[in-house]
Amino acid sequence: MKILGIITEYNPFHNGHQIHLQESIAESGADASICIMSGSFLQRGTPALINQWARTEMALEQGVNLVIQLPISYSIRSAEHFAFGSVKLLDATNIVDSLCFGSESGKIQPLQFLGQLLAQEPPQLSELIQKKLESNLSYPQARAAAVGEYLQKQNTEIDLSQHQIAEILHNSNNILGIEYIKALTKLNSSIKPLTIQRQGADYNTQHLEQVSSATAIRKQIKKYQENNDPLITDQLQETMPATTVNILEKEFTAGRGPIYPQDLSNPLLAILRRNSRAKFKNYEDVRGGLENRIKDAALNSSSWVELINKIKTKRFTQTRIQRILAQILLNLKENSLREFDQAGGPLYFRILGFNQQGKELLHKIKSQGDLPLISRVANHFKSNYQPQNLLQKMLSFDVQATNIYNLAYPNHKWKPGNSDYKQAPIIKA
């Protein structure tokens, strides 16, 4: 049996995701699929439109067999850590044969070459990256420029111009793909990387079409919400499978969404105003006086959008700022993240949902995998839900993320905390 691994957020599951899933299965020749999915908060540092259980249901309805959650300690970090955590989970199952991801490039060879180069990162390349960073470039810009300059001086088996390298390293899906390959290389994994060309609108495109970006879909729903219009229109329905539409309507009707970053503005601003500038330096990626920009912006902002706009600069990108703010909101400090990294990454498989074939995969993982399976969170805390070891500490941040996420629900019925202790995996017959 061939097993396909995919890494997703499904925020929400749309036609492009459906194409990616179908083509990935065809490309890999897989008999079954395992999806690693973010939970309450996503890689760009924002809360999900709807919770992970509803997004799991979307995935299962479209044929994914098993959904495993990426711990929050990896889902709201840089592309490098997000990719490593996700790949580590797939690799630790010891049953996954291939990982297929979408990319703007659509060609595996240049991505594999760059991924392996960056995994090894020769000293000359590291020096060039540092030099570019000193010229006030953001890290992605500095790395792209450094790689281009480094390869220009090397005799390599692949012919890539500086323009081609810059183009590859400019696109978000290419970047993630390269990070997946880096992680596979570092883990010496037997999983084979595959890619298919991303179809439809770019991530940042805001208009709707049949294969729209998740960003465009979320922005359209927000626009309808602000105008007090129905949230799911005929035009929107054309961008998603019918099963996704039904699940969205169910969640919105129940008052469990839609959720946007600004829905957590008040709790975030309260934390930022309460804490001193020095305390912000305890969080990952707060460097170069960024703690001062955060504090000043918090005292002079009244919303999420205003806060971001007052902090970001050319060097401190919006996505980087959003991740830092999410980590502050969840009290996920750098020392905890380093502890988890030193332990080798995610420490458990948290099961979000499965179908009948997924149940068979779980039996295989239980006997062959390197990490414990968690289907009931409450079973992993002995008393008072206080963490007693590193696994429980990592898991406690997942619980905390859901507790804070719940505060953004439109319906007060769903706002109470500790819902993770009551939630069982979604099972599709």
Most distant pair of Cα atoms in the chain: their distance: 63
Q: Give the residue among 391, 379, 363 at the shortest CA–CA distance from 423.
A: 379
> Residue 5: what pLDDT?
98
Q: Which residues are annotated as a binding site for ATP?
A: 7-20, 102, 173, 198
Q: Hey, CA dihedral for 119, 120, 122, 127, is it positive or negative?
A: positive
Predicted confidence at residue 162, as pLDDT, reads 74
User: Which structure tokens are listed for 26?
Assistant: 């065809």
Closest C-alpha to 371, from 334, 343, 332: 343
Copy the structure tokens of residue 165.
């390298």
Q: Give the pLDDT confidence score for residue 46 in this predicted structure.
A: 98
Tell me if 68 sits within 8 A of 90, measured CB to CB.
no
The first and second tokens of residue 153, run together, are: 């001086």
Distance, in Å, from the CA atom of 21 to the CA atom of 64, rounded to the nearest integer, reads 8
**pLDDT score recorded for residue 270:** 98
| 149 phi/psi in degrees, rounded to 5 | -70, -40
The residues that bridge with 103 in the sheet, in sequence order, are 197
Instruction: Give the C-alpha separation, 323 to 344, whole Å.
Output: 21
Interatomic CA distance for residues 86 and 152, integer angstroms: 32
As annotated, the binding site includes 7-20, 102, 173, 198
The SS3 call for residue 68 is: strand
Q: Phi, psi at residue 98, to the nearest 5°?
A: -145, 155
Does an H or E element contain 354, and which? strand 349-354
- The rounded distance, in Å, linking the Cα atoms of 283 and 326 is 10
DSSP type of residue 424: P
Which pLDDT score, from 0 to 100, does residue 159 have?
A: 73
Low-confidence ranges of the chain (pLDDT < 50): none
How far the first Cα of the chain sits from its last, in Å, is 21
Nearest one of 309, 332, 331 to 321, comparing CA atoms: 309
Q: For residue 72, which of 330, 343, 252 has the smallest C-alpha distance?
A: 330
Answer whether 326's CB lies under 8 Å from 76's CB.
yes
pLDDT for the residue 205? 55
CA angle, residues 342, 347, 348, in degrees to nearest 5 = 170
Q: Is pTM, for the whole model, over 0.75?
A: yes
